[in-house]
Amino acid sequence: MFDGRLETFIKVAECGSFTKAADALYVTATAVMKQINALESELSVRLFERTNHGSTLTKAGESFLQDAR
């Protein structure tokens, strides 16, 4: 089954920013944040380290990215 959150997760990982990923996906940054927060909550793991300068993958996020692709 297709889960749009995976596409969003991959785009954030590639762009390094929730805002840039939102622009690329033609949605709002808030929508991207909600999708990533829901995914992290469902998995019970933090996938991104968030800063004012962007987002980077955690170790768990790097592993999940390989599986998501």
pLDDT at 2 (0 to 100):
65
Q: Which of 48, 38, 51, 30 is nearest to 3 (CA)?
A: 38
Assess if CATH 1.10.10.10 describes domain 4-68.
Answer: yes
Domain-by-domain residue ranges, the chain?
Answer: 4-68
The structure tokens 């596409």 sit at 7
**pLDDT above 90: residue 1:** no
Residue 52 — pLDDT band, cuts 50, 70, 90? confident
State the pTM of this model.
0.90
Share of the chain above pLDDT 70, in %: 97
Tell me: the pLDDT tens digits for 17-38? 999 999 999 999 999 999 999 9
